[in-house]
C-alpha cells in the first residue's frame, strides 16, 4: 500500500460504521409514533410492540455474532462486511415498506440475521491499516 493508500479505505469504513450506527439510533425515539400513526397499533399495545420490534434485532444479532465472526475468519472479512451492508440496506428498505406491525417485526428479525457489519468493519480496520495508524483508525 502506498504512503497514503490507507486513507480512502478508512474513510469508506468509517462512513459505513457511522451510517449504520445512525440508522440504529434514529429509530428509537420515533418507533412508538410510527407504530401508532402508520401501522395502526392500538395504544394499549404500543409498549409491547415497541419493545419487541426494537429488541428482536439486537437479540438475534447477539446470538449470531460469533457465527458471523467464524465465517469472516474462515472466508473473508470483506465478504462479511459486504454481506452485512447489502442485507442491512435491504432490511432498512423493508422496514420502510411494511404495512403491519407483524411485517415490521419480521423485517427487524431479518435485520438481526443480517447483522455483523460493525465487528467486520473493526476487523478490517485493525488488519488493513498501517501499524502506526491503527490507534487513529480504530478511534475513528
pTM of this prediction? 0.82
Per-residue model confidence as pLDDT tens for the chain (140 residues): 567 788 888 898 888 888 877 776 667 788 899 999 999 999 999 999 999 999 998 899 899 988 988 888 899 888 988 898 899 889 989 988 999 999 999 999 999 998 888 788 888 888 888 888 888 888 87
1 assigned to some structural domain: no
Judge contact between 128 and 77, C-beta under 8 A. Answer: no
> For the chain, what is the domain count?
1
pLDDT of residue 72: 86
116 assigned to some structural domain: yes
pLDDT of residue 110: 95
Residue 84 C-alpha cell reads as 452485512
Residue 104 C-alpha cell reads as 415490521
Domain range for residue 70?
7-139
Amino acid at each position: 500500500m502506498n504512503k497514503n493508500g490507507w486513507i480512502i479505505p478508512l474513510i469508506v469504513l468509517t462512513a459505513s460504521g457511522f451510517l449504520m450506527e445512525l440508522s440504529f439510533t434514529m429509530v428509537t425515539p420515533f418507533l412508538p409514533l410510527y407504530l401508532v400513526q402508520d401501522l395502526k397499533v392500538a395504544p394499549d399495545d404500543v409498549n409491547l410492540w415497541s419493545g419487541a420490534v426494537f429488541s428482536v434485532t439486537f437479540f438475534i444479532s447477539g446470538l449470531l455474532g460469533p457465527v458471523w465472526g467464524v465465517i469472516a475468519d474462515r472466508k473473508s472479512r470483506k465478504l462479511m462486511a459486504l454481506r452485512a451492508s447489502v442485507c442491512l440496506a435491504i432490511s432498512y428498505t423493508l422496514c420502510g415498506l411494511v404495512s403491519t406491525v407483524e411485517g415490521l417485526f419480521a423485517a427487524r428479525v431479518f435485520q438481526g440475521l443480517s447483522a455483523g457489519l460493525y465487528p467486520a468493519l473493526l476487523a478490517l480496520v485493525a488488519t488493513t491499516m498501517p501499524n502506526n495508524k491503527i490507534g487513529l483508525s480504530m478511534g475513528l
